[in-house]
Amino acid sequence: MLGSALVGTRRLELRGGDITTIVADVIVNAANSGLRGGGGVDGAIHHAAGPGLIAELRDRYASTPTGTAVITGAHGLAARWVIHAVGPAWRGGERKEAALLASAYRASLALADEVGARSVAFPAISCGIFGFPLAEAAAIALETVLMHLAGPTTVELVTFVLRGAEVQRAFLRALDRTETPVDGSTVNPDNVGQD
């Protein structure tokens, strides 16, 4: 584990690894608004889940706007549900990218609460091909999730599954600097890069 924080009895964890192998009630997919699969995390989740995932998306949803999320079954994944969150592409910061990214995380957590999920695994939304600056994206992600864990929620554990040393370092720094009150946190920088 890279790091963790406690909010009351609820826990946030940072881990390296492959999100498609995580056992959780919900795995969040960093989707595009067309909801038809793509590269990076989106492609890996679609590949691991199998053809039932894209079939369910086609049957239930035409698309979803940036800053929102939709939910499906998990099909071939070790989860009950997949939440498909659409984060923004970075366009210089003048197109409400920060608010849209926070909204994508909030929408995902709201859906997790609707289905009674107790554990949620997130990737670093918008940090791949969408090009969001890592330090800002990590701070937004952690602040949004920690605030949610501090309120009424069914979620007891949120795990960020982070690929690559640069992303891992950005999330560790953001956790170390979080302004959200936590009941304790640990940071293990020696584990960076160990996916």
Residues 27 and 44: their CA atoms lie apart, in Å, by 12
* H or E segment and range at residue 14: strand 10-16
* Catalytic residue chosen out of the listed positions 18, 25, 42, 190: 42
How far is residue 19's CA from residue 159's CA, in Å, rounded to a whole number?
A: 10
Report how far apart the first and last C-alpha atoms of the chain are (Å, whole number).
Answer: 10
Q: How far, in Å, are 31, 90, 125, 175, 190 from residue 93 at the CA level?
A: 20, 7, 16, 22, 32
Active site residue 190: no
C-alpha–C-alpha distance, residues 91 and 12, integer Å? 29
Instruction: Report phi then psi at 139, rounded to 5.
Output: -65, -45
C-alpha 163/C-alpha 33 separation (Å) is 22
Q: What gap in Å lies between CA 178 and CA 181, rounded to an integer?
A: 8
Report the catalytic residues: 42
